[in-house]
Amino acid sequence: QTVVTQEPSFSVSPGGTVTLTCGLSSASVSTTHYPSWYQQTPGQAPRTLIYTTNIRSSGVPDRFSGSILGNKAALTITGAQADDESDYYCVLYLGSGIYVFGTGTKVTVL
């Protein structure tokens, strides 16, 4: 079974920078996995941040950016703000119409 692993939690200071990663158990993550990133606050549906590796969804601040770092997908928050405190999930496309979500990262801003 394919597992997509994210860091369980991160803490960042206001104004600081944090990079979350998204790794694949069976292979290196590449652009062909079309990594996307979603932000979720408690009790709410996820919100699209980044898709196709590095394209920001409409209305997403430019402090959020996506990339491939080494063999993983990455989401970087530059200049973190209090309302960035959320859970973040990556999604990878495995081909043949199959998706898998990452395990999620809880980001605390303090």
Q: Is 5 in the site for another protein (CB under 8 A)?
A: no
Q: Which one among 10, 19, 30, 48 touches another protein, defined by CB under 8 A?
A: 48
Q: Does 102 bind another protein (CB under 8 A)?
A: yes
Q: Do residues 17 and 78 touch, judged by C-beta distance below 8 A?
A: yes
- DSSP letter at 57? P
Type of residue at 11:
S
Among residues 12, 72, 89, 107, which is the contact residue for another protein, using CB under 8 A? Answer: 89
Q: Which of 21, 36, 39, 86 binds another protein (CB under 8 A)?
A: 36
CA angle 64, 67, 73 (to 5 degrees): 110
